Amino acid sequence: MSDEKPQAWQRRDHSRDLTGLGWLEADVLRVVWDKGEVTVRDVYEELRENRRIAYTTVMSVLRNLAGKGLLEQDRSSAAYVYRPKVTDEQVARGILDALVDKIMGGNRAPLIEYLQHPPRND
């Protein structure tokens, strides 16, 4: 086990929700993971296809995600470039850990049972 300080997104005391990520942050992360390297303009153009959103909002979300340790921010050019610092799998594991800890009191058995036998949607 590492002695590294947990990143902001890994801490278990988020007041907003279990993950510490809002829906918009999750959508922005998905764009970054899909593209690998983005500018604010790239993410803005992608997101505005399905929602009304301001360029400055996208800029703020990317900056916040970098501050949480989820994205790397390259400031070497006029347009900042963002790259993922963590994988979607790492974030998913963090979300599941938070779910198990906060909702299930650390008991993983119900989650494992659910994943092995998901409800049918007939």
Structure confidence by residue, pLDDT tens digits, 45-103: 999 999 999 999 999 999 999 999 999 999 988 899 999 999 999 988 888 888 888 88
Residue 2 is predicted with a pLDDT of 47
Extents of the domains making up the chain: 8-86
pTM of the model: 0.74
CA distance 99 to 118: 17
Domain 8-86's class?
mainly alpha
CA distance 114 to 117: 5
Residue 122 is predicted with a pLDDT of 66
Residue 13 is predicted with a pLDDT of 44
Is it the case that residue 1 has pLDDT exceeding 70?
Answer: no
